[in-house]
Amino acid sequence: MPVVGSDQGYLLQPAKVGDLLIAPGERYKVVVDFTGHNAQNWVLSNDAATPYPDGDDSVAKIPQLMQFQVGHAVSSPDRTSVPRVILETNNLVPPAFELLTARLRTVQAGEIVPGEALLGDKAQLRMFMDPATETPQLGSTEVWAMRNASPDSHPIHEHLVDLRLIGRWHVGNWITDPNHPELGAPVFRDADE
């Protein structure tokens, strides 16, 4: 199935995938073609470990998310296709070009008290009533290095701000020794995603 978009709009070039890792709060736009599967039922399933990623089975699994019931016949032939390139305002400028002048910020998520997720700047976690430490300017481009030391798999995202994931780094030893994290090799996404 081709992925044609994510939270922030359409991908410049759709990406064909066989499965998709989706965290709570994330959204993807995909195209599924049921041609040749008349009168069949298809189930969108979930095989992720719970809690993710280790899966100690303390949380009930939800293996079946949605069922698609394909009709017996079509009312008219489907002549649509997924374009090779989808131009939209969110993907016209390549990320590599935008990064040339971007400001770098480092933020973190974690817990001081178990079960109470907090965000903070690179120096420390902040309480909900603390003044804002990160104030991007309208129209600016920034790179945010986000560290998540919380046990939550919920993605970090900003509301009403366009974000584009450019890479992930595995960080080990973060919770046991936050002053000396072990930064793994970067895994960059395709520049056009």
pLDDT reading at 88 higher than 80:
yes
CA distances from 12 to 15, 60, 72, 164, 169 (A): 9, 37, 35, 12, 24
Tell me if 20 sits within 8 A of 6, measured CB to CB.
no
Condensed to tens digits (0 to 9), the pLDDT of residues 8-32 reads 778 888 999 988 888 777 788 999 9
User: What is the mean pLDDT of the segment spanning 145-167?
Assistant: 71
Provide the pLDDT confidence category of residue 186 given band limits of 50, 70 and 90.
low
* In the block, residue with structure tokens 């990320």: 95
> Among positive and negative, which fits the CA dihedral 98, 103, 104, 105?
negative
Taking the alpha carbons at both ends of the chain, their separation in whole angstroms is 16
Determine which helix (DSSP H) or strand (DSSP E) holds 172, and give its type and residue range: strand 167-172
Condensed to tens digits (0 to 9), the pLDDT of residues 35-85 reads 889 999 999 888 887 777 677 776 767 888 899 999 998 888 888 999 999
pLDDT of residue 181: 62
Report the range of poorest mean pLDDT among 81-95, 108-122, 176-190: 176-190
